[in-house]
Amino acid sequence: MSLISKIFPKNQYEKEAIIKAFLIFFMTIELLVSVIFILLIKIEISHKKHNIFLELVNYSYTFKGEKV
């Protein structure tokens, strides 16, 4: 017998349980990674908005800035 046939279950219900367990595990990890990614994007956008605001405030006080 090969090693794969020893590890993989022979019963249909055992196969279904293993597939469902892996799907739940990977879907949970994918959900967690996507939430972290979305939060990081929101933080990055707020940082960029804050930096733009600081540049505008600085320019409004001095009227000196880089000419584009």
Residue 61: count other Cβ atoms within 10 Å of its Cβ.
8
Q: Is the confidence at residue 15, as pLDDT, over 50?
A: yes
- DSSP 8-state class, residue 11: S
- Read off the pLDDT of each residue in 50-64 and give the average, rounded to a whole number: 81
4 vs 45, higher pLDDT? 45
Residue 31: count other Cβ atoms within 10 Å of its Cβ.
10
Query: For 1-68, where are the alpha helices, taking DSSP H only?
Result: 3-7, 12-62
Per-residue pLDDT at 68: 47
Per-residue pLDDT at 58: 79
